[in-house]
Structure 1
Amino acid sequence: IYFLSAVKKGASQTVIGLIFGCYAVCNLIGSLILGKYIVQIGAKFMLVTGLFVSSGCTILFGLLNRVPAGPAFISLCFVVRSVDAVGFAAAMTSSFAMTAKIFPNNVATVLGSLEIFTGLGLILGPPVGGWFYQSFGYEVPFMLLGCFLLIMVPFNIYVLPKIDADPSKDSFIRLLTKVKIVLICYVIFTLSAGLGFLDATLSLYAINTFGLSTGYVGLIMLGLSLPYCLASPLIGYFTDKYPATRSWFMVTGGAATALGFCLLGPVPFLHIPSQLWLLIIMLGVIGFSLGMTAIPTFPEIITCAYEQGYEEGLSTLGMVSGLFGAVWSLGMFYGPVVGGLITQHLSFEWAAAVQGGLAFFAVSISLFSMYCIAYA
């Protein structure tokens, strides 16, 4: 929805990528700071405040269509997205930490189950948003989403428990001294970079290549979101029951992600023509592999943190949540910005191939690390 309006307002593919990228940068900074001070701020207060800020920014984003084209529109896009990013960082960092605190033995299962609703949002968001856009214009989808988020504020104030904890003196730096955590962070980076790339480029590619309307582009996104929605709870339950399988799921999922991106275009040197059915199938592969890879990463970092001697409590969980959110945001910055540049100067096919290369490199270093650990 936003891409078409932004292009009409004079924003290039690169500028659109930078607007998405600034969201990721502010999210990264916010995740690290809020994750470090989650105990001092309060997990419940952080979540509720983040929801409130994000809801307001979503409503404001819907009003940007009334701003004159050119620098004024682009500047306000940067401002609103930046503030929204901090609100989202607060909500996500606190929600992940609270989930791990309340369900310490079933972190992956609960997160995987919650990701069903993320998948439902991805499933319903594009087609419903596209329909509202076609029927009522640019403003209505953002207004409805912002109001829905606003309703969640009093609901969460009433439902969520208050969690008291003592602040910790540990830091992110010591967390990153463990090689395995750094490798997991790179895996997270490749996943979010791929998603960020698709967010910034897939809609325009599908419209220009296959002549699709906005509504049909939303339906295509079902190929990504539905498999993710199905995979997340299954992988979460299985990895909680058999924790030793987490690394193998990350490797297998990464390999599938690499294959999916290389055939998404497909990559030009294969000389395979672009086909709509192939695009949808590869989105399905990427969606399922995302669930395979992403769900085990968070509990695995928690396990590594405890092995490093971190205290078992909200403070550690907040730092892990902040680190997860920061690395995810770093990928969400890289994906739209670099992917947008490659798409603009080369092609979507080459940009997708680069994302596949990142995932393949993650698989390679993960396998090497697992081999070294087994040999030792």
Structure 2
Amino acid sequence: AEKKGASNTMIGMIFGSYALFNLLASLVFGKYLVHIGAKFMFIAGMFLSGGVTVLFGVLDQLPAGPVFITMCFLVRMIDAIGFGAAITASSSILAKAFPNNVATILGSLEVFSGLGLVVGPPLGGFLYQSFGYEVPFIFLGCIVLLMIPLNLCILPNYESDPGEHSFWKLVTLPKVSFIALIITSLSSCFGFLDPILSLFVLEKFNLPAGYVGLVFLGLALSYAISSPLFGLLSDKMPHLRKWFLIFGNLITAGCFMLLGPVPILNIKSQLWLLVLVLVVNGISAGMSIIPTFPEILSCAHENGFEEGLSTLGLVSGFFGAMWSIGAFVGPLLGGFMYEKIGFEWAAAVQGLWALLSGLAMGLFYLQENARTRRSKPQNITATEEERTALLPNEI
């Protein structure tokens, strides 16, 4: 991109546009999932995403300047729309197909997300070094496109009537608002690490560039391994979800304090400590992320949302939108803070966001628990009064 005349700011905007359009796409597709059709939305999303990934591989053939920059924006935006459609539809289809094991299924699929994070960088690097810029994108895009016929045959068609409820009603539910804070804080933590951690590792420990990707393995593998476990526990013991949400964020906050570590702790920065912190962070991320979807879904049903594909679409779109907000803000603020105050303090500030969202979630659950306890004696009294009034008639 630099060779084609794009400034660092412009490059950041090109990457940032992906998260922004993913946010918009998630909201729109979540609302109109039933109208469009879940299976069609998933297949169309894969087709768009796979096609523009191939196109991204040939952008280096374009002339430098405005033409190159415009096409970069266009390709990234379309990719975000396709990805938003595919993810929103797939989450809804899975929740519809496995209504009693939503967290277990989503947690199991995170194994493959983790595998993608592990395999992607070394495979992409090998293809790039061996065959040049175009091949990694063309190879990956073709894999996505080849999955379309398979999914056309396998995926069931789910039909449902449009729901009466809106995103606004979902967002204004107090519990959902606090969970939204959890989701954005966690996705911003991931977004923060993406561009900045590699720079810090190269500068601090003088590692060869090829070894930097291995540092991320601790985070990706621990997240992939722990996610199915937390999904299973969330489904089998729903009362544990609130503890996962709270303590997952608090542990994440502690991890970010130790990434640098923050100077006030007077702990020397060491590579083994950094890798250990990333491993713990992967586990805490799985602890917090996996229960969010079923918790939002159960909250929606408790507040009058109908059980069906319409509500699943709203919840899937909402989750995708909140994740995109964090994915957009995390790298943006992270890059700015890294330049101004250094990695150690920047990571601590990022961890503060996770800390505050975890504490806010904890306070909400305490208040909810107190409100439930207060309402129970009143209900018992009312029931006794009703029975007393009816007894003479019964006799």
Query: What TM-score does the superposition give when structure 2 sets the normalisation length?
Result: 0.89
Among 99, 103, 115, the residue aligned to 1:120: 115
Q: Return the alpha-carbon distance in structure 2 between the equivalents of residues 277 and 360 of structure 1.
A: 24
Give the AA of the match of 2:283.
F
Among 81, 87, 98, the residue aligned to 2:82: 87
1:373 and 2:368 correspond: yes
Among 311, 322, 346, the residue aligned to 2:306: 311
Residues 25 and 330 in structure 1, CA contact (< 8 A), matched pair in contact too: yes
Q: Which residue of 2 aligns with 1:166?
A: 161
Q: Return the alpha-carbon distance in structure 2 between the equivalents of residues 219 and 109 of structure 1.
A: 28
Q: Which residue of 1 aligns with 2:53?
A: 58
1:272 offset after TM fit, Å?
3.5
Residues 17 and 200 in structure 1, CA contact (< 8 A), matched pair in contact too: no
Give the AA of the match of 1:100.
A
Residues 127 and 216 in structure 1, CA contact (< 8 A), matched pair in contact too: no
Alignment of 1:79-228 (within 5 A): 79-228=74-223
Query: What TM-score does the superposition give when structure 1 sets the normalisation length?
Result: 0.93
Change in 2 beyond 3 A, CA 1:74/1:288:
farther
Q: Return the alpha-carbon distance in structure 1 between the equivalents of residues 233 and 68 of structure 2.
A: 47
Greater CA drift, 55-64 or 184-193: 55-64
1:108 offset after TM fit, Å?
0.3
Give the AA of the match of 2:31.
K
Among 25, 30, 44, the residue aligned to 1:30: 25
Q: Return the alpha-carbon distance in structure 2 between the equivalents of residues 311 and 18 of structure 1.
A: 39
Identical positions, percent: 55
Give the AA of the match of 1:241.
K
Q: Return the alpha-carbon distance in structure 2 between the equivalents of residues 66 and 263 of structure 1.
A: 44
Give the AA of the match of 1:103.
F
Q: Which residue of 1 aligns with 2:357?
A: 362
Q: Which residue of 1 aligns with 2:389?
A: none
Residues 18 and 337 in structure 1, CA contact (< 8 A), matched pair in contact too: no
1:70 offset after TM fit, Å?
5.4
Q: Return the alpha-carbon distance in structure 1 between the equivalents of residues 343 and 243 of structure 2.
A: 30
Q: Return the alpha-carbon distance in structure 1 between the equivalents of residues 136 and 207 of structure 2.
A: 20
Greater CA drift, 343-352 or 184-193: 343-352
Q: Return the alpha-carbon distance in structure 2 between the equivalents of residues 12 and 221 of structure 1.
A: 27
Give the AA of the match of 2:37.
G
1:94 offset after TM fit, Å?
0.3
Please state whether the residue corresponding to 1:263 is helix, strand or coil: helix
CA deviation map 1:247-301 (0-9, x unaligned): 1011111111111112112223334443322222222122111111000000000
Larger radius of gyration: 2
Greater CA drift, 81-90 or 338-347: 338-347
Q: Which residue of 2 aligns with 1:325?
A: 320
Q: Return the alpha-carbon distance in structure 1 between the equivalents of residues 11 and 268 of structure 2.
A: 27
Q: Which runs of 5+ in 2 are unaligned?
A: 372-395
Please state whether the residue corresponding to 1:20 is helix, strand or coil: helix
Q: Which residue of 1 aligns with 2:43?
A: 48
CA deviation map 1:44-78 (0-9, x unaligned): 00000101111112122222344455555444332
Q: Return the alpha-carbon distance in structure 2 between the equivalents of residues 18 and 352 of structure 1.
A: 22
Equivalenced residues, count: 371
Change in 2 beyond 3 A, CA 1:267/1:68:
farther
1:12 offset after TM fit, Å?
5.6
Among 230, 243, 246, the residue aligned to 2:241: 246
Q: Return the alpha-carbon distance in structure 1 between the equivalents of residues 4 and 165 of structure 2.
A: 47
Q: Which residue of 1 aligns with 2:272?
A: 277
Give the AA of the match of 1:198.
L
Greater CA drift, 101-110 or 282-291: 282-291
Residues 175 and 308 in structure 1, CA contact (< 8 A), matched pair in contact too: no
Change in 2 beyond 3 A, CA 1:291/1:8:
farther
Tell which has more relative contact order, 1 or 2 (C-alpha 8 A, sep 6+): 1
Residues 225 and 287 in structure 1, CA contact (< 8 A), matched pair in contact too: yes
Change in 2 beyond 3 A, CA 1:141/1:205:
farther
1:209 offset after TM fit, Å?
3.3
Change in 2 beyond 3 A, CA 1:354/1:19:
farther
Q: Return the alpha-carbon distance in structure 2 between the equivalents of residues 67 and 279 of structure 1.
A: 41
